Amino acid sequence: MKSVSEILSQLGLGHDRQSEDAIGWQLLDQMRAEGSVVLVKLDGERTLDPYTLVISGGPLGENYFRKDGSSINELIAEGANFYDGLIWRGEALDPQV
């Protein structure tokens, strides 16, 4: 799995030593700019896997990414790799994660 900074560099979007957190949010915003819906949920009622990331719509068509986890940064990296493989590099992946 690529790091979020590797994906950002591949897209030609310089990051000037930004933190991995900032880079991840920049990638999510790029997905939004391309027409996808990006939903980040922080659920205070759950003690296990309190974070949810959903990426759908736009260039993804019927494909989507949805996953719960204990680290928002890990979810962003997984979502960015999903989107990268399906849209930015156009590789066939199992779309429903």
The domain segmentation of the chain, as residue ranges, is 4-88
> Which residues face 38 on adjacent strands?
55
| Strand order, beta sheet including 51-56 | 37-42, 51-56, 64-69
Q: What is the pLDDT of residue 89?
A: 86
What is the pTM (predicted TM-score) of this model? Answer: 0.79
CA distance 85 to 80: 8
- Structure letter (DSSP) for residue 60: G
pLDDT in tens, 5-21: 788 777 776 656 567 77
**Average pLDDT of every residue of the chain:** 87
Segments of the chain with pLDDT less than 70: 13-18, 91-97
The per-residue pLDDT for 16 is 61
Determine the pLDDT at residue 66. 98
Note the pLDDT of residue 95.
46
Give the pLDDT score at 9: 77
pLDDT (0 to 100) of residue 24: 85
